[in-house]
Amino acid sequence: MTVQHIVNVVYLSPLAFLATALLSHFQPGLRPKHVKSIATAATILSILIAAISGVFISQHPLIESTFLGYKQLGLSLRLDSVSVLMFSMIVLLSFIILRFSKNYLDGDVRQGAFIGRLAATIAAVQLLVLSGNVVLLLLAWVFTSISLHRLLVFYHERLGAIIAARKKFLVARLGDVSLLGALIALYLNFDTGNLEVIFQQLKITSISEFTSSNLEVAAILLVIAALLKSAQFPTHGWLIEVMETPTPVSALLHAGLLNAGPFLIIRMAYVIESSAFAPLILIAIGGFTALFASVAFLTQTSVKTALAYSSIAHMGFSLMTCGMGVYSAAMLHLVAHSFYKAHSFLSSGSAIDIIRTAKVSDVIRTKNPFRIVLGILLGIGVYAGLALLWGINSENETAILGIGTIIALGLSRLFTSALDSSGGIKLLFRAALLSLLVTLAFFTLEAGSHELLSAQLPELSKPNFSTLALTVIILIAFSATVFIQIIAPSLTSSSFFKALAIHFRNGFYLNTLFDNTVRALYTYGSEKKPAVVNSSECFEKHILTSTVQLENQPIAAKN
């Protein structure tokens, strides 16, 4: 029996979760004993399969399962370093989230149905990351959206959940159409749906030899599909409203399903690299979204809404990193964000964290310009010094330096807070130690990720003028934002910045336009009429509510 045939065992993992979903139809109610048991067995089986897959990949860089289909279009699984890493992450998160769900929903009259829907979604995500053919990739992509929709409307009597789910449904269908168009263009260009055949042809063939525009169209459509999947600006509004579902859904959504966008770009990296415009779109929209959502995150008063904006920003940063060509760093960021965000949502209601936060004493800022400038220089100096010691080539690894610049800005913020405060030498020492650890972790983990994934990703190349110019613009925007944040204590009395904070908190009311679009496409019953009637009323409502909230906040929160 060949390794190829042994790898067919990997199908058992998504099939076990699909079996859980099927069984839930017979035990959809309170405390479904058998559904819980088979769900637990499915997670344990998946962990074992992930471990075995890792062993196989350590010996064989690429393994494909038996192909089922016609004219190179059909079903096949692909095991390589990228897919196994994502698969392993998903099975670990699935184990944690399902374990949490058993207690979280204990006593719910539809606990069995919920676990079944959760299992179906997990199966779809597993098939997505393991896809070796464009047909399975498309089917899994659509299945993730449909199964997520069923989770978002789990409490169908909640109007907020219905409206958010409808927004997500519209965005998802646009993403599905974009992905379908991209995959058709790839098939027309390469006469195959096998991903490995497509990648190999792109590796050995000069881009100039592709006379067809199909490749450029495919790359752009892939980018559009990824942007829509990961709630990027301006279609991010649905994500900040999907709070009516149980907490495990939020954890799975933010830690797993949102990653489908960056994963698609990483999986199709060779296609993206062959395009002249796709990387620029990723840098522009991903970078702007990361910046916009990061600022909006700082203005939120709701924990879950803040976490939603954080996810939007992280997805934007991952996509921007892909646009810069540093796919290994994007994958590293993706995995780290997934575990961090799953923990954040599952522990968002913990009273212990609130008590601990309440015990933290604020330091007093001195607002000394010299100390502020010194803090900025120290942050840049630490990063630049370690980059030099690490041996980063400024010519061939410009993109890594560009990503690292954002880390340097964070270090500047850290040093400034320590120097320009009453914290003393102890706080400065802690800031310096943390800065060194963060910078070393970035270079070490990025190098390890590159080594692990290099066989499946394009080599890092010198950016062209357009990419470099756009990257510089994005970095200048990030720098300006961080500088404003550093001097924020001096701006607390400014009415302009108070008003700006209100507008950012409400996402500049783009959700209002989204609401009107959804209302135009759906007919609501009189008993389900949305509370918001039109754009002007929604705008006035946001302004009034946000002003009251801002005035009632303590000074530390406003800063």
Give 304-320 pLDDT, tens digit per residue.
888 889 999 999 999 99
Least confident residue range of 77-91, 294-308, 353-367: 353-367
Q: What is the pLDDT of residues 232-261, one digit of tens each?
A: 988 888 888 877 778 888 888 888 889 999
Buried b (16+ CB within 10 A) or exposed e, 508-546: ebebbebbeebbeeeeeeeeeeeebeeeeebeeebeeeb
What mean pLDDT do residues 407-429 have?
Answer: 78
Task: Tell how far CA 487 is from the center of its chain.
Answer: 30
Amino acid 549: pLDDT: 47
Pick from 14, 169, 39, 16: nearest CA to 111: 39
Has residue 39 got a pLDDT over 60? yes
Amino acid 538: pLDDT: 42
Has residue 87 got a pLDDT over 90? yes
Amino acid 362: pLDDT: 53
d(CA 414, CA 259): 29
Amino acid 45: pLDDT: 95
Has residue 22 got a pLDDT over 90? yes
Task: Please state, for a pLDDT cut of 90, what percent of the chain lies above it.
Answer: 36
Pick from 121, 127, 128, 125: nearest CA to 11: 127
The angle formed by the CA atoms of residues 400, 296 and 371, to the nearest 5 degrees, is: 65
Amino acid 373: pLDDT: 80
Amino acid 199: pLDDT: 93
What mean pLDDT do residues 36-59 have?
Answer: 92
Least confident residue range of 45-59, 70-84, 305-319, 347-361: 347-361
Peptide bond into 234 cis (omega under 30): yes
Q: How far is CA 33 from CA 20, 122, 526, in A?
A: 12, 20, 40
For residues 423 and 262, the model is more confident at 262
Instruction: Please report how many Cα atoms fall inside a 13 Å half-sphere around the Cα of residue 553, on the Cβ side.
Output: 19
Quick one: CA torsion of 338, 357, 483, 488, rounded to 10 degrees? 140
Q: Which two tokens stand for residue 427?
A: 């706080």
Rg (CA), the chain: 24
The confidence band for 79, taking pLDDT boundaries of 50, 70 and 90, is very high
Quote the pTM value.
0.86
Q: What is the pLDDT of residues 508-547, one digit of tens each?
A: 777 777 777 776 676 544 444 444 444 344 444 444 444 4
The confidence band for 8, taking pLDDT boundaries of 50, 70 and 90, is confident
Classify 216 as helix, strand or coil. helix
Q: What is the pLDDT of residues 102-113, one digit of tens each?
A: 888 888 888 899
Has residue 72 got a pLDDT over 60? yes
Pick from 58, 366, 270, 127: nearest CA to 374: 366
The confidence band for 299, taking pLDDT boundaries of 50, 70 and 90, is confident
Euclidean distance between the first and the last CA atom of the chain, given in angstroms as a whole number: 65
Maximal CA-CA distance, the chain: 74
Q: Are 517 and 465 in contact (CB under 8 A)?
A: no
Q: How far is CA 223 from CA 230, 308, 537, in A?
A: 11, 21, 35
Amino acid 544: pLDDT: 43
Q: How far is CA 547 from CA 135, 149, 241, 488, in A?
A: 50, 34, 20, 19
Has residue 148 got a pLDDT over 50? yes
Residue that is written with structure tokens 């302004």 in the block: 543
The confidence band for 405, taking pLDDT boundaries of 50, 70 and 90, is confident
Give the chain's mean pLDDT: 82
The confidence band for 137, taking pLDDT boundaries of 50, 70 and 90, is very high
63-64 and 78-79 as β-strands: parallel, antiparallel, unpaired? antiparallel
For residues 350 and 439, the model is more confident at 439
What mean pLDDT do residues 327-349 have?
Answer: 86
d(CA 139, CA 84): 19
Least confident residue range of 48-62, 114-128, 300-314, 408-422: 408-422
Has residue 493 got a pLDDT over 60? yes
d(CA 340, CA 275): 33
Q: Which two tokens stand for residue 328?
A: 């290994």
Amino acid 548: pLDDT: 43
Pick from 248, 242, 244: nearest CA to 101: 248
Amino acid 349: pLDDT: 64
73-75 and 68-70 as β-strands: parallel, antiparallel, unpaired? antiparallel
Q: Which range among 8-12, 149-153, 261-265 has the greatest average pLDDT?
A: 261-265
Buried b (16+ CB within 10 A) or exposed e, 148-187: bbbbbbbeeeeeebbbbbbbbbbbbeebbebbbbbbbbbb
Amino acid 540: pLDDT: 42
